[in-house]
């Protein structure tokens, strides 16, 4: 791809903050966003910790007419979209409504809304089910509501690939702009599924940590790794054609997307290696980079021993033992499914801006055989110009995005 695609705006809703500044400050400080579940009584369940967003009152951010028709996940997405567009100083009407599109990722849809309406169906009858159930549950609802709210009528879509989906949405948005089909795309992912039905769905994976102490619950690459902690939230990005963005504003972009790739794992019974290494190699080829050009990897960081070993194998094969600094900021927020990759891209862009690598918290005993240079406990200051972000989704999805600084 010859057309540069830059990021000009970012919006965040995360357990570590409801703005980009709050989130970044908390991340560099190693602030723990994982805590006991508050949305419902978790006592009957085997896992009771989550990365939850606190202090979010939708009525303070959104018009009242939207509240009856939206799930919490869509409210979080709408706020992230508002802030990303505000950050980019975008006037959609001026750019042209058909020149601005939306592609998001979501893995669960509106769980809380749907659970409530199902209860009404079985206890009160079909006449008591909200008419908004027809779309509030759907994976594409965030794309639709954002498009309507901001009159963005260009290319639209939704990607469903669990944790990998957010990076896939970013890759799709980049391709759409590079092919000249849109001047601007709002993209990323946001998740929230903290009601009993959603929680049971998480637990069904068998890989959720059952630890009761936030300090020991989510420990990727650690000898004590015991599963992941689910989180909610994510990030949305404004991406633009570089030439168009330069003509629209004199603000320096946060960075540009120069590489993207996605692969799928072979069937487990084949005992063939995962496709993550290939995704990294393809993303490097897409960016026309050699491995030694990468200054930092933001890891998928599953927190499951087998998956951590697979990721370490891929990193070692491409970059060599301890060949590149690795960070895992999601140790502070949990795994956000479709929201996780975009939030990691935000961290990557801010790391580029500030030349600092955020730490993984609580990880004290990295497995020696992994030979991973994991940044822990304290931020590491060093020059950064190119960052690789990785994400894997349940079922075999692998995605890789490369972001670079802009002159």
| β partners of residue 240 | 6, 184
Q: 264 and 117 in one domain?
A: no
Which of 190, 225, 248 delimits the end of a domain?
248
Indicate the DSSP class of residue 378: S
- Read off the pLDDT band of 1 (50, 70, 90): very low
* pLDDT recorded at residue 192: 96
Mind giving me the DSSP string for 140-202? THHHHHHHHHHT--SSEEEE--GGGHHHHHHHHHHHHHHTTS-SEEEEEEEE---SHHHHHHH
Residues 287 and 378 in one domain: yes
Measured CA to CA, the distance from residue 281 to residue 290 in angstroms comes to 9
What ranges make up the beta strands (E) of 14-98?
Answer: 34-36, 49-51
What local confidence, expressed as pLDDT, does residue 114 receive? 85
Tell me what percent of the residues of the chain surpass a pLDDT of 70: 100
Q: How much is the pLDDT for 407? A: 82
| 248, 281, 306 - which closes a domain | 248
Residues 272 and 206 in one domain: no
Pull the structure tokens for residue 106.
Answer: 């979501």
Domain termination residue (choose one: 217, 248, 279): 248
Residues 225 and 317 in one domain: no
**Which tens digit of pLDDT belongs to each residue from 245-263?**
998 988 999 999 999 999 9
Reported as a single tens digit per residue, the pLDDT across 73-93 is 999 999 999 999 999 999 999
Instruction: Name residue 396's beta-bridge partners.
Output: none
Neighbours of 230 (CB within 10 A): 28
* Structure-model confidence comparison of residues 136 and 361, the more confident one: 361
Do 260 and 216 lie in one domain? The reply is no
- pLDDT mean over 18-33: 98
Q: Which pLDDT tens digit goes with each residue over 93-129?
A: 999 999 999 999 999 999 888 888 888 999 999 999 8
Task: State whether 158 and 270 are in the same domain.
Answer: no
Number of domains in the chain: 2
pLDDT band at 3 (very low <50, low <70, confident <90, very high): confident
Both 262 and 244 in one domain: the answer is no
Residue 97, pLDDT score: 95
What does the pLDDT read at residue 402?
99
pLDDT band for position 144 (cuts 50, 70, 90): very high
Q: Residue 317: what pLDDT?
A: 98
**Shared-domain flag, residues 234 and 341:** no
pLDDT-based confidence at 134, cuts 50/70/90? confident
Task: Clarify whether residues 238 and 261 are in a common domain.
Answer: no
Range of the domain at 140: 5-248
pLDDT attached to residue 379: 98
198 φψ region: left (φ > 0), alpha (ψ -120 to 50), beta (else): alpha
Q: What CA–CA distance (Å, rounded) separates 81 from 235?
A: 8
Note the pLDDT tens digit of each residue in 261-314. Answer: 999 998 877 878 889 999 999 999 999 999 999 999 999 999 999 999 999 999
pLDDT in tens, 350-401: 999 999 999 999 999 999 999 999 999 999 999 999 999 999 999 999 999 9
- Looking at the structure, tell me whether residues 326 and 197 fall in a common domain: no
Half-sphere exposure of 59 (CA within 13 A, CB side): 2
Six-digit token string for 339: 């929201």
Q: Could you tell me the CATH number of the domain that includes residue 201?
A: 3.40.47.10
Residues 400/260, Cβ–Cβ less than 8 Å: yes
270 and 216, same structural domain? Answer: no
- Across the range 326-336, mean pLDDT stands at 98
373: DSSP letter? E
User: Exposure pattern of 376-398 as b/e (b: 16+ CB <10 Å)?
Assistant: beebbeeebebbbbbbbbeebbb
What pLDDT is stored for residue 2 in this prediction? Answer: 52
DSSP letter, residue 237: E
What's the pLDDT at 274?
A: 86
Q: What is the DSSP letter of 45?
A: S
Residue pLDDT, tens place only, 182-205: 999 999 999 999 999 899 999 999
State the chain's mean pLDDT as an integer: 95
CA distance 310 to 272: 11
Say whether both 92 and 21 belong to one domain.
yes
pLDDT of residue 159: 97
Residue 93 has a pLDDT of: 94
Q: Is 392 left (phi over 0), alpha (psi -120 to 50) or beta?
A: beta
């Amino acid at each position: 791809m010859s057309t540069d695609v830059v990021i000009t705006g970012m919006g965040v809703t995360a357990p570590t903050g409801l703005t980009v500044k709050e989130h970044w400050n908390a991340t560099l400080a190693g602030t723990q966003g994982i805590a006991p579940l508050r949305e419902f009584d978790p006592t009957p369940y085997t896992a009771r910790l989550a990365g939850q967003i606190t202090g979010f009152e939708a009525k303070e951010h959104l018009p009242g007419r939207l509240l009856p028709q939206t799930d919490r996940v869509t409210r979080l997405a709408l706020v992230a979209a508002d802030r990303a567009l505000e950050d980019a100083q975008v006037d959609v009407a001026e750019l042209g409504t058909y020149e601005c599109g939306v592609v998001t990722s979501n893995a669960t849809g509106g769980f809380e809304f749907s659970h409530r309406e199902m209860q009404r169906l079985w206890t009160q009858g079909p006449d008591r089910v909200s008419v908004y159930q027809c779309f509030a549950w759907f994976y594409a609802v965030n794309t639709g509501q954002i498009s309507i709210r901001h009159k963005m009528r260009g290319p639209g879509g939704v990607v469903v690939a669990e944790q990998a989906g957010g990076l896939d949405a970013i890759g799709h948005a980049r391709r759409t702009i590079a092919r000249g089909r849109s001047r601007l795309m709002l993209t990323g992912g946001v998740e929230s599924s903290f009601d009993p039905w959603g929680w049971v769905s998480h637990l069904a994976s068998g890989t959720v940590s059952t630890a009761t102490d936030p300090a020991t619950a989510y420990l990727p690459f650690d000898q004590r790794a015991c599963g992941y902690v689910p989180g909610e939230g994510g990030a949305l990005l404004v991406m633009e054609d570089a030439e168009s963005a330069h003509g629209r504003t004199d603000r320096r972009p946060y960075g540009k997307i120069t590489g993207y790739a996605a692969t799928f794992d072979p069937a487990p019974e084949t005992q063939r290696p995962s496709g993550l290494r290939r995704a990294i190699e393809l993303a490097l080829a897409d960016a026309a980079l050699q491995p030694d050009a990468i200054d930092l990897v933001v890891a998928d960081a599953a927190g499951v021993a087998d998956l951590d070993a697979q990721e370490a194998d891929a990193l070692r094969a491409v970059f060599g033992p301890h060949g590149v600094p690795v960070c895992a900021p999601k140790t502070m927020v949990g795994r956000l499914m479709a929201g996780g990759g975009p939030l990691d891209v935000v961290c990557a862009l801010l790391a580029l801006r500030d030349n600092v690598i955020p730490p993984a918290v609580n990880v004290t005993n990295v497995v020696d055989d992994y030979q991973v240079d994991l940044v822990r406990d304290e931020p590491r200051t060093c020059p950064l110009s190119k960052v690789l972000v990785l994400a894997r989704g349940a079922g075999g999805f692998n995605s890789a995005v490369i972001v670079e600084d802009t002159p």
